[in-house]
Amino acid sequence: MKLKKYNSFKEFYPYYQSQHQNSICRLLHLIGTILILYLVIFYIRDFKDFILIPLIGYGFAWIGHFFFEKNNPATFKYPVYSLFGDLFMFWNIITLKEKI
């Protein structure tokens, strides 16, 4: 299967949203992002602590995708745009521009 090439994040985000229709999946993304922000601000004191970031962030997101959304995370195909998508979705949810 050939990957679709997105020329901008604006072009990618509708695809990202289509992969995040389930509210539990979106909630798990939100929880993972909140925990990552907490770790970065209050916990991480040593370089080895950075291993927690992908474990927690991807852990919550992948549980949401595999068990609730029933799809493969966009991270596998579009890692950079997916990271931006997660942060953008997080911001939109906490500012009430998108629903969980």
Question: For 25-51, what is each residue's pLDDT tens digit?
Answer: 999 999 999 999 998 888 888 888 888
Give the residue, 94 or 3, on which the prediction is more confident. Answer: 94
Segment 64-96, tens digit of pLDDT: 999 999 999 989 899 999 999 999 999 999 999
Whole-prediction pTM: 0.89
Cα separation, 90 vs 100, in Å, equals 9
Euclidean distance between CA atoms 23 and 48, whole angstroms: 33
Residues in the chain: 100
Q: Where are the domains of the chain?
A: 20-94
Q: For residues 48 and 64, what is the distance between their CA atoms, to the nearest angstrom?
A: 26
Spatial contact of 77 and 37, defined as CB atoms under 8 Å apart = no
